Amino acid sequence: MELPAVVHDEIARRLAGDDQRYTRLRRALVETLAASGRPLTIPEILAATPNLPQSSAYRNVTTLMDAGVVRRVAGTDDHGRFELAEGFSGHHHHLVCATCEHRFDLVGVCPDCR
């Protein structure tokens, strides 16, 4: 899923507010997270974004976190997982089985439809 230009413009604006640039590599990282449909570890980000050097992956993720573009998602293991902040990906929740780490989605009926 490619993000609309307006989203990239907002990300560039947020980074500029932190005296940072929205570089080609940061844009590729953001696109990787947007396309994934789930939070990714740094190794998964690197596998999906081959032009992103490992040496700059952590630094770029941290810069995007500081700007409020990316957030860290807690898991059941020691691996940090990252996804786009809700302002860019929409509100959602994460449920993970503590034993096998399968992910669950909850589906229900809102009060208006009830």
In a domain, 22, yes or no: yes
In a domain, 30, yes or no: yes
Token pair for residue 68? 């409020």
Q: How far is residue 8's CA from residue 10's CA, in Å, rounded to a whole number?
A: 5
In a domain, 55, yes or no: yes
Q: How far is residue 101's CA from residue 38's CA, in Å, rounded to a whole number?
A: 13
* pLDDT (0 to 100) of residue 96: 62
* pLDDT (0 to 100) of residue 101: 62
Tell me the β-bridge partners of 84.
70
The β-bridge relationship of strands 103-104 and 95-96 is antiparallel
Which range marks the domain in which residue 94 is found? 5-104
Q: What is the pLDDT along the chain (114 residues), one digit of tens a residue?
A: 678 888 899 999 999 999 999 999 999 999 999 998 888 999 999 999 988 999 889 999 999 999 999 999 876 666 788 998 877 555 555 566 667 767 555 667 778 888
Provide, for the chain, the percentages of residues in helix, strand and coil under a 3-state DSSP scheme, each rounded to the nearest 5. 45, 10, 45
How many domains does the structure of the chain reveal? Answer: 1
Which domain CATH number covers 47?
A: 1.10.10.10
- pTM assigned to the model: 0.75
